[in-house]
Structure formats: C-alpha cells, structure tokens
Amino acid sequence: MKLHVIEISPGDRLQNDIFNQFGVLILHKGTELTGDAIVKLMQHGIDYIDIEPRTIDIDRPAASGYSEQVTKVIPLFDQAVDGFEQIFLEALSRGTFDESRVDELLNPLVNELIGQKDVVSLLLLLNNDDNYTYNHSIQVGMLSYYIATWLGYPKQEAYKVGKAGYLIDIGKCKISQEILSKPGKLTAEEFEEVKRHTYYGSDIILKSTGDEISALVALQHHEREDGSGYPQGLSDKDIHPYAKIAAVADVYSAMTSNRVYRSKQELLTVLRELNALSFGQLSPEPTQALIRHLLPNFIGKKVMLNSGEVGSIVMTNQTDFFRPLVQTDAGFIDLSKEREMTITEVYI
C-alpha cells in the first residue's frame, strides 16, 4: 500500500526498508511508525513509502493538560493579576502606588519564570477574557523579561525590563472606562485621550518610584522605529532599548487577546505579523528574539484548523516558519503546501 508521507498515520508499519538519497538506511522493514519516525522521513526528503495493509483503527493518545511545572506558576499569576488591580486602583485614587508592592508580586514570579522553558503554555495560561488590562500587564511584564534574557541581559537588568513592562499601562487608570471599553471605533478626540495614557503613566511611575527609565518606557512603548508611533513620533535611536522590548511584548499580547473591539488572533498568525512589523515599525532584535524562542514551543501543541479538524503541531517548516506540519487523525497536513488550510486556535 503506497502512501505519500503526509497520509501516513502513527501505527502504520513499513512494508520495506527505507533508504535516503545517499543510500543510508533510515528505517527498517516492519517498523511501526510513530510521529517522530514520520517527521524523520520528511526530514530525509522521503515522499512515498509502502506500508502494510491497515487492518484496525489506530488509537491515539489523549491530549495532555498543562505540565506540573507550568501549573506551579498559576497562583503567582493570579496574585500578580489581582495585585495589579490594586496598584491600578491605588494610582487612580492617589496618583501614586507603592513600589514595594510591585516587587513583592514580581520577584517570586520572575524567580519561577527562570526555570520555565515552555513560554507558549504560559501565554495560553494567561490568555483569558477577564480583566484585559490586568492580564495584559502580566503578559507584557513576563514577555519583556523573557525577551531581555534572550537578548543576553543579565538577570537583574532583565528584571528591570520586566518590571517596566508590567507598569507600562498604569496610566490607563486616568482614562475613562467608557473610552477603554468602547466596542466601536474611537473618535479622533477619544483616541487623543487614549494616547495620553503614556504621559499619565510616565508621571505616575516617576512620582511613585523615582525610576526615570521605567517612566520613559511607559512614555515610549507606543513609539515606532519609523516614527509612526506616539506620543512624540520618535524613531529608532531616540527610543530607549527597554521601550523597544516592551513595545514588542505589548503588541504581541494585545493581538493575542480578546478586546472589546476585536477578537484575539491565533498565536502563530500574530508571530507572522510581528515578523512583518520588524521590517519598519518594531525593533528587529527583540522581535526576532521573541519569534526565534517561541516557535520551538509550538511543537506538540494542539491546534484547531479552519476545516474543523483537531491536530497537533509536529514540525516547523523551514520554508515557512509560521505554517507548520500538523498531525490529525486523518494523517499529516503540511500547511506550507495546503495554503487554504489555516490554524484557528492553539491550545494545550
């Protein structure tokens, strides 16, 4: 029974020995094919193979939930989200907040993040529809910390970057909730008011902490490399490196979250859009660091396709990083070739 490699199902058995183009034996006759074995065939450029006739349906393992290591972060995330709400309300009522409370929330969280390699699972863990502003702040702080470490920042400095990212939207406490939760398009006047959250945040942080760099990050996190951002229309060298990192984290978190005016986008699609933005608007170094380190985390993640099929990502395509190879019950789907097929959701 000759099949194309993407039509193979785990559990099929080889009818013949498989050799690559150099005559090297890849797999023996009679081998029961696993997901890893099928990926190995693809990596060696094997297109068609003969398998033994199928006689039974193949059971597949059920999807697993979050790992024990990832679930250890849940209470720390919950504390940080609830804590930011209190900091936000304190800044609203007093115009300042207690900096020591920020460190009390972030230090244990960052200490736990150090050992976490599966950042995509952490993002999925945080990706719920409640309290957008507070969840968003945790995501931005966490991603800013990770990006800084991936760029080679020492731990203490990476913590400062993460802390600055956590606080970038504190100025939204001074924007009316009617504007922040408006489901339709903002008027020009309303958008000008939203822009002021950068100034408000910078002022609140400076008064609360005296930290000029964190205040500058809050002011500049909507600036863009090509000068198209706000509030000052700065470009490239005039934007602080920490603000460039926070901008990448901010855009990624916002695009992967449900907003009152826009549904969240699928995580890999957002990475592709970020990649495009790194050629002009977002700083390329932190953007590419994020993409480079997140992509391997998608291997093994369950996905929903626009066809309604559920599968899991088994390999990243070198020709199109954002359209991976997906294994479903029916076989393998190479999204780099099946262009009409798309991933609509990534989950555990």
Predicted local distance difference test score (pLDDT) of residue 227 = 97
Asked whether the domain spanning 68-296 has the same topology as the one spanning 2-50, the reply is: no
Predicted local distance difference test score (pLDDT) of residue 62 = 36
Nearest Cα neighbor of 252 from 142, 131, 170 is: 142
130-152 pLDDT, tens per residue? 567 788 899 999 999 999 999 99
Contact 310, 304 (CB under 8 A): yes
Predicted local distance difference test score (pLDDT) of residue 5 = 66
Nearest Cα neighbor of 214 from 254, 174, 246 is: 246
CB atoms within 10 A of CB 85: 14
Residues in contact with 336: Cβ distance below 8 Å, sequence separation at least 6, in sequence order: 317, 319, 320, 323, 324, 325
Q: Is the pTM of this model over 0.75?
A: yes
Residue ranges per domain, the chain? Answer: 2-50, 68-296, 299-347
Question: Alpha-carbon Rg of the chain, whole angstroms?
Answer: 23
CA 44 to chain centre: 30
Contact 168, 218 (CB under 8 A): yes
Q: Could you give the CA distance from residue 229 to residue 169 in angstroms, rounded to a whole number? A: 16
Residues in contact with 278: Cβ distance below 8 Å, sequence separation at least 6, in sequence order: 284, 287, 288
Predicted local distance difference test score (pLDDT) of residue 263 = 59
Predicted local distance difference test score (pLDDT) of residue 134 = 82
Predicted local distance difference test score (pLDDT) of residue 42 = 73
Predicted local distance difference test score (pLDDT) of residue 12 = 81
Residues of the chain with pLDDT under 70: 1, 4-7, 9, 35, 54-66, 127-131, 258-263
Predicted local distance difference test score (pLDDT) of residue 61 = 35
Q: Which of 3.40.640.10, 3.40.50.300, 3.90.105.10, 3.40.50.12280 is the CATH number of 2-50?
A: 3.90.105.10
Q: Could you give the CA distance from residue 121 to residue 28 in angstroms, rounded to a whole number? A: 36
The CATH number given to 68-296 is 1.10.3210.10
